């Protein structure tokens, strides 16, 4: 029998890139099916799961703005991209037998629900996975910040950020062979060392609201489940629960 979960309610942040697979644009059906399977395993344990998905596999506002587009319009397109990913994830989850609801910060009544906090919590309590789409609904923000915000709003016990590397490093491990992976960090250390975890707005939201964060590699099969069961994988970031500066692998 699977070990009991450590958390009652979690918020999982997936970047749009997580859906790319071997493609350089869009959604790899095989990958989204696998991701849905990882989420299925967690939901099976009785853990309430909220998801925030990015849009970087389709459009990123900053990239479009670099090409000359008005930034607000570009961010609107980025947020629409997150809705497309959310719909794809909802579909993949439902094909695995997980009931899921997309709730969008931008109104799009023909295809998904509006984000209404109390309704989102009700869905979670009924065991439905809630996919929070369109980020915060505002330009100049990221889906990392949306993930912190929604996690705090719904009272998640932890924010789990899925990445392509197995935690937070002192430098880019691909470019710098001396880079060290941190086991634990404080939010202040992430900010002062400018570590590439999430943008500063998202980190400050976690710090000020005492929301613990785990950064892990989504490519490790079963790792999401293990984290929810209380295993220490990847990098844990919290306030004073951890000493700063220890590279405790």
Residue 213 to residue 185: CA distance in whole angstroms = 10
Q: How far is the CB of 50 from ligand UDP (least distance, A)?
A: 15
Segment near ligand UDP (CB under 6 A); pick from 142-150, 157-165, 200-208, 233-241: 142-150
Q: How far is the CB of 87 from ligand UDP (least distance, A)?
A: 15
Phi and psi at 100, nearest 5°, equal: -135, 150
Our finding on whether 236 is near ligand UDP (CB under 6 A) is: no
Residue 59 to residue 25: CA distance in whole angstroms = 9
Alpha carbon separation from 193 to 27, 94, 187, 202 (Å, rounded): 33, 41, 10, 15
Our finding on whether 17 is near ligand UDP (CB under 6 A) is: yes
Of the candidate residues 5, 50, 61, 212, the single one contacting ligand UDP (CB under 6 A): 61
Q: How far is the CB of 81 from ligand UDP (least distance, A)?
A: 6
Our finding on whether 201 is near ligand UDP (CB under 6 A) is: no
Our finding on whether 147 is near ligand UDP (CB under 6 A) is: no
Residue 164 to residue 189: CA distance in whole angstroms = 22
Residue 94 to residue 207: CA distance in whole angstroms = 34
Our CB check for ligand UDP shows the closer of 34 and 76 to be 76
Give the interface with ligand UDP as residue ranges (CB under 6 A): 15-17, 54-56, 60-62, 74-75, 78-79, 81-82, 135-136, 138-139, 141-144, 146
């Amino acid at each position: 029998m699977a070990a009991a979960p450590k958390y009652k309610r979690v918020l999982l942040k997936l970047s749009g890139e997580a859906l790319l697979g071997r493609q350089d644009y869009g959604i790899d059906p095989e990958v989204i099916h696998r991701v849905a399977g990882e989420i299925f395993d967690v939901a099976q344990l009785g853990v309430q799961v909220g998801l925030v998905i990015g849009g970087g596999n389709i459009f990123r506002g900053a990239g479009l703005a670099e090409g000359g587009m008005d930034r607000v319009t570009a961010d609107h397109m980025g947020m629409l991209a997150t809705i497309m990913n959310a719909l794809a994830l909802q579909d993949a989850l439902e094909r695995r037998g997980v009931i899921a609801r997309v709730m969008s910060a931008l109104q799009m009544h023909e295809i998904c629900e509006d984000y209404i906090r109390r309704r989102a919590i009700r869905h979670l309590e009924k065991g439905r996975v809630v996919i929070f789409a369109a980020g915060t609904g505002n330009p100049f923000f990221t889906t990392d910040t949306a993930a912190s915000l929604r996690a705090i709003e719904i009272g998640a016990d932890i924010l789990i950020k899925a990445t392509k590397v197995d935690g937070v490093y002192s430098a880019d491990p691909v470019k710098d062979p001396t880079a060290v992976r941190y086991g634990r960090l404080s939010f202040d250390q992430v900010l002062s060392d400018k570590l590439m975890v999430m943008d500063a707005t998202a980190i400050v939201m976690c710090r000020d609201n005492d929301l613990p964060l785990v950064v892990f590699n989504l490519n490790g099969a079963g790792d999401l489940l293990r984290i929810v069961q209380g295993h220490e994988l990847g990098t844990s970031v919290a306030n004073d629960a951890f000493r700063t500066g220890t590279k405790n692998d």
